[in-house]
Amino acid sequence: MDMNRDKIERPYVPYEPLATVLPVVKPATSRSRKVKILLVLLTAAATFGLNHCWRGLDTDLPSSTPSTRADPPEFDWNALEPAKTIRWTSCYSGQKCARLLLPLDYGTPDGPTTAIALRMLPATDKVNYKGPMLINPGGPGGSGTDLVARAGKNISAIVGPSFDILGFDPRGIGASTPSASCFESDSQRQLWELQEDHRLLNASDGSVDIARARQTLLGQRCEQKIGGEWGIARFMSTPDVARDMLEISQQLGHEKLQYWGFSYGSILGQYFSAIYPDKVGRVIIDGVYDGHNYRGALWNSNLADTDAVIDSFFTFCHQAGPEKCALYDSTPAKIRARFFAVLHAVEAQPVSIPNAEPPVLVTRKVLQSQLFRATYKPLAQFVVVADTVYALESGNQTALAALAPKIVPPTECKCADLEPWLASNEAFSPIACGDGDEIVYDREAYAKYYENLVASSQLAGPLWANSYLKCAEWRVRPKWRWTGPLGAKNTSHPLLLVSPRYDPVCPLSDAQAVQDRYAGSGLLIQESVGHCTLAAPSLCTAKHIRAYMENGTLPKAGTVCGVDELPFVGAVQDVRALSVEDTELLEAMKGLSAAVPTFGFGGL
């Protein structure tokens, strides 16, 4: 029964065109050709009739759970016949969708396949047409088709109308099939999540044993559901996805990749550029995680700047004043003291919100998680944390009841409502743990690991420490694991790295380490807090990104971009002083922070 623990690793599969397997599609003909679509009506039994639950939609959970959905599930992905070449069909008013059949294992091109879901917002400037730009929202486990739904138009406003914005669901994710789901339904997954320990993870009590046991159970269950010789779990590794991206680009007539990847998407960009250095057209990686730390399955370089983001909560609250921040006080230190007083109070005595629907109990873990989630998108969520802490401090039950869904993301049962492609997944482990070195749990080593994480960030450490346990209890090994260098002496075009000054899970120091490994790459720093540069609108960043995409130009070394909006404080400059174009661009960027990707935070 141990066949999943296959140790065979192919260190390097050189790029071989799939032309022998897949008919080569000439771009000019494929674009103009009338696409013939065969609609296959699937039996309802296969896809419907399941009970589905999802978390409240306004909570922006930074987990692999999709948090905001721009579209109702009006497009039936299952009705789209997968094909070995990209055949676009119209979908979602003005967009294009396709399902692309690719080999599960590139080493067995005639073997079993996976159908990759593609969703594209077509370029509107056909005169200066520059081809597709692929996007990846991170996770791992995030859906690219969903990112197009939530932010495609806004991303297009940044890179310009000459690019198609192309989201794809990586293997096992979203509308790609087979799905990396270890549960029968989303409601079943939610019920499992509700059994989670109410204590924070702490290496000096029994909470680690429970967290570990949960990961062991989940790992075993996944092994049964998606493991096995040809199970999807063995074929979701990042080198496989990088190869898929190359195939997608080339089928669309572009020899080289154009790409913007966020968060885990920065890992995907690093792998791609290392494996196919001569296929780099434009590669932007945003919110950069160190590929070496990732491949070690360590997850311990992430929190270097988390506390700086948390500190900014206090300073921006103070700067904004009492009108804009409920927790305002005469100094940032006083605001901080009030925050910690409330945190310790709920630890000693959890606060109940009996009139919320559903009722909510505020524990230390709940409050700490709310703050950590908010560090991903301070513009949208710092205010909510301030309101919550103020309401707790003043014991205002009316306010607490209203805030409850933003304190504990509610689990709602929506029976038979959720299409499979909107459901959550267990993709994190097959991807991140599979890409990573095998780790064996050792109590003492883990205690030390935990201590170090907590030393980086006292508040985020206990929440982050779960990723390591996930990988320690994950047994399925990928068929293709990349063990070659994660860097390149030369790429066919230099990479552009972009990083906030303070990112809660992808620190600037990681971006700098990665920059050193990819010769000639540029690094743009955005003077912001939050996860990835999307977390704060910046006309300056947008213009550099556009210049890179359009003309290939890198910002000058040492370029730092200011932002146009600050948490609590609001707009930095007078919009009346902006040109019409800039006003529109800024408008498109605002609210993009709601689309900020999720990242390896499955522990909540």
Q: Name the residue nearer to ligand NAG (CB basis): 93 or 551.
A: 551
- How is residue 431 annotated by DSSP? I
Residue closest to ligand NAG when measured from CB atoms: 591
**Residue bearing tokens 């070690």:** 296
| Cα–Cα dist 419/406, whole Å | 25
Minimum distance, C-beta of residue 320 to ligand NAG, in the bound complex (Å) = 18
> How distant, in Å, are the alpha carbons of 178, 231, 355, 359, 387 from that of 393?
48, 51, 18, 19, 10
Task: Give min distance, CB of 284 to ligand NAG, in A.
Answer: 14
Question: What DSSP string runs through 488-507?
Answer: BS--SS--EEEEEEE-SSS-
Order of strands, edge to edge, in the sheet holding 280-286?
A: 89-91, 95-103, 113-121, 163-168, 131-136, 257-262, 280-286, 496-502, 522-529, 560-561
Nearest distance from residue 142's CB to ligand NAG, in Å?
16
Cβ-based nearer residue to ligand NAG, 121 or 594: 594
Spatial CB neighbours of 471, under 8 Å, sequence gap ≥ 6: 297, 299, 429, 432, 433, 436, 439
Nearer of residues 31 and 324 to ligand NAG, judged by Cβ: 324
- CB of 439 within 8 A of CB of 477? no
Strand pairing class (257-262; 280-286): parallel
| Shorter beta-carbon distance to ligand NAG: residue 157 or 317 | 157
CB of 494 to ligand NAG, least distance (A): 10
**Which position has the token pair 């694991």?**
481
Q: How far is the CB of 383 from ligand NAG (least distance, A)?
A: 13
Work out how close the CB of 483 gets to ligand NAG at its nearest, in angstroms, rounded to a whole number: 24
Considering beta carbons, is residue 153 or 198 the nearer one to ligand NAG? 153
**Does residue 504 have a cis bond before it (omega within 30 degrees)?**
no
- Taking the least distance from each CB to ligand NAG, the nearer of 204 and 579 is 204
Which residues, listed in sequence order, are joined to residue 116 by a DSSP beta bridge? 100
Minimum Å gap between C-beta 407 and ligand NAG is: 14
Residue by residue, DSSP assigns 255-316 as SSEEEEEETHHHHHHHHHHHH-GGGEEEEEEES---HHHHHTT---SGGGGHHHHHHHHHHH
3 state SS for 294-311: HHCCCCCCHHHHHHHHHH
The Cα 407–Cα 409 span in angstroms is 6
Query: Least distance in Å: CB of 350 to ligand NAG?
Result: 16
Minimum distance, C-beta of residue 590 to ligand NAG, in the bound complex (Å): 6
Which stretch of DSSP H or E encloses residue 351?
strand 351-353
Binding residues for ligand NAG (CB under 6 A): 151, 153-154, 157, 200, 202, 204-205, 278, 394, 396, 398-399, 454, 458, 462, 490, 492, 546-547, 550-551, 587-588, 590-592, 594-595
Q: Please identify, using beta-carbon distances, which residue of 121 and 200 lies nearer to ligand NAG.
A: 200
Nearer to ligand NAG, 122 or 172 (CB): 122
Looking at the Cβ atoms of 98 and 280, the one nearer to ligand NAG is: 280
